[in-house]
Structure 1
Amino acid sequence: MSDIYMSDGIRWQKLIESSLKYLTIFKFYFQEKKSENLTEKLNKFQQFQNDFWHKQHQWYTNLEIYTRTSTIYTIPYEKDTYELTCNTDKHGYLWMKNSNVFDNVKTLTLTPKLIAKNSKCYFRNVESLILTRHSDENYDEDDDDDDDDDKPDLKSTEIKLLHTIVNLSNIKHLTIDEEFYANSSLLFDLLKELPNVSSLEIDEEQLMKFVKNNELCKYLNKNIKKLDISTGECLDERIFLNKIKIIFSQVFSNIEQFTCDYMKQVDDLLVILKECSNLVIIKCEVISKPVNSWILINASKLDVYFDFKSVNEETDDDEYNDDDDDEYDYDDDDEE
């Protein structure tokens, strides 16, 4: 069947009636570019709403219309990832709190300002929550308000409403998108609503803004076991700059797994190993030649597994000095 007719309910019905008479399970997810107007799209969706689909086979479908695309899918939604983002116009047979529409979803990408508008959705099995301003696929630039750039993307009212669409007790991992803005007190309030979150993925620059909140730092140190930081585009800077000792001694000393994009300085690695006694795994996309040299010499002496994908050959080996293994110079800020 041509891609042009993939979401044509009449053609599917004729095919099943003529050639697939014993078909009992039929699952699909059709996505199209938004080339039709709303009326045409709804008319096409109605082709899946007759007695053949509902009474004879109990096959139900939902329609979602975004800014640039639209999707028709069978219920329950089959994918394990879902984006609840801007400009979603929903139509369907089963939009109710007690339905199983999204029971297969394990990872939810959410724009908090849409929680109130999507009260009919419920995600009971989500394990990973991603907070974002918008989705690249569904974002409409015309809806962007530059005046809101300095305002938090998360509000207290949205935190209180979050449990109405998501089973919060099941969430174990939280990702804060790099463009998402929330102040430290709101992040703390959110984490208190997510009692089983032990894994955090966050941009390095964002995290640095949160460490001034003592209550939040204590909470993170007690509960976070896996930390994944994005270190930005500049590969010449140290992780957390001169704050690395504070970060790992006071905020994440109990982590068991640490992940980052790039590790250049041996001193950074040594601080992490020294301050995080429970550490089991360190993952890096790229490491420098000096860091690689140190790992080759010392890894067998440690109870830590190093997982990295590549070595940056442009770094100089003389950046690493064996004499630095036991003593390090920290900036004054680190000793406070």
Structure 2
Amino acid sequence: MHKNNDDNNIQDKFIRFQNDLWLGKHWFTEYELSNYSATIYTIPYMFNSYDFQLDTQRYSHQLVNTFDNAKILTVYHATLKDPCLCYFSNVTSLTILPSEQYFKPRLGTQDIRSLKKIINFSNLKHIGISVKFRLKEPSILLRLLQDLPQLSSIVISIRALEAFSYDTDLCEYLNKTIKKLDIYKYGFCSFKTHYQLEEFCKTFSNVEELKCNIDRMTDLLFLLKHLSKLTNLKGYL
């Protein structure tokens, strides 16, 4: 629901859903307040996706299985510092977004530790890392990938892949694990030179699904020829 500035009025309305009638029927509820909206939901949370907004204040019920139904999670980088974040045990897809007020924030070791506190890494199959992030060094991305035993799909920028192309260990791990690769859409080709295209095909020779920017027919033909396991290719023109 749309929220005005009267938080107390909203909270009074939501507290009515936590009276003896609701509790007697085991209909537990939680509610959230942000700058522009207010939400109340029964728990466990019934939807399969959850966005943890940057400006959200959550009034939670002390149940450990609140978000067991959530499979798709979006979190802002700044919220990872919040010690009150809940736990997501069954998430299979994670997207990490930066705060708008920060330019190119860095994603580092401490952020990975924070993610481990709120997410069961053993179930994650897909991760999306915003193009606006700076990864401090290749070892950060490698460490994150190694902590995700089921990961096979990633959304990442071509510039991040370029920066880490010299790291043999990371390239080998990407080759072994990533089957679905989505390179962020730009207004220009994902591959600036033919050499870069060749190195990309070596690193991702096992990829089965690929999204990228293509503006040359020769690049398209090269990808189709050298990515022998490719079954699905979507090229942005």
TM-score between both structures, scaled by the size of structure 1: 0.64
- The alpha carbon displacement at 1:151 in A equals 4.2
- The alpha carbon displacement at 1:51 in A equals 0.5
Tell me the percent identity. 35
From 191, 197, 200, the equivalent of 2:151 is 197
- The alpha carbon displacement at 1:180 in A equals 2.7
- In 2, distance between residues paired with 1:270 and 1:227? 18
**Residue matched to 1:61:** 29
- The alpha carbon displacement at 1:118 in A equals 4.6
- The alpha carbon displacement at 1:204 in A equals 2.4
- The alpha carbon displacement at 1:258 in A equals 1.3
- Residues 76 and 104 in structure 1, CA contact (< 8 A), matched pair in contact too: yes
1:107 aligns with 2:58: no
- In 1, distance between residues paired with 2:132 and 2:104? 11
From 114, 121, 126, the equivalent of 1:168 is 121
For the aligned residue pairs, the C-alpha RMSD in angstroms reads: 2.0
1:132 aligns with 2:101: no
Considering Cα pairs closer than 8 Å and 6+ residues apart, tell me whether 1 or 2 has the greater RCO: 2
**Residue matched to 2:184:** 230
From 206, 212, 224, the equivalent of 1:254 is 206
Instruction: Provide structure 2 residue ranges, at least 5 long, that are not aligned to the other structure.
Output: none
**Residue matched to 1:320:** none
- In 1, distance between residues paired with 2:16 and 2:26? 14
Instruction: Provide structure 1 residue ranges, at least 5 long, that are not aligned to the other structure.
Output: 1-31, 135-140, 288-336
Report the CA distance shift for 1:129/1:123 in structure 2 as closer, same or farther (over 3 A): same
Alignment of 1:141-156 (within 5 A): 144-145=101-102, 149-152=103-106, 154-156=107-109
- Residues 119 and 165 in structure 1, CA contact (< 8 A), matched pair in contact too: no
- The alpha carbon displacement at 1:45 in A equals 1.4
- In 1, distance between residues paired with 2:3 and 2:161? 38
Q: SS of the counterpart of 2:223?
A: helix
- In 1, distance between residues paired with 2:110 and 2:184? 29
From 73, 83, 91, the equivalent of 2:41 is 73
Larger radius of gyration: 1
- Residues 208 and 240 in structure 1, CA contact (< 8 A), matched pair in contact too: no
- In 2, distance between residues paired with 1:70 and 1:120? 18
Alignment of 1:1-336 (within 5 A): 32-55=1-24, 57-92=25-60, 94-96=61-63, 99-134=64-99, 144-145=101-102, 149-152=103-106, 154-183=107-136, 184-234=138-188, 238-242=189-193, 243-249=196-202, 251-260=203-212, 262-284=213-235, 286=236
Report the CA distance shift for 1:278/1:111 in structure 2 as closer, same or farther (over 3 A): same
Runs (4+) off by over 6 Å? none
- Number of equivalent positions: 234
Q: SS of the counterpart of 1:246?
A: helix
- Residues 60 and 75 in structure 1, CA contact (< 8 A), matched pair in contact too: yes
Note the alpha carbon deviations across 1:291-314, whole angstroms, 9 max, x for none: xxxxxxxxxxxxxxxxxxxxxxxx
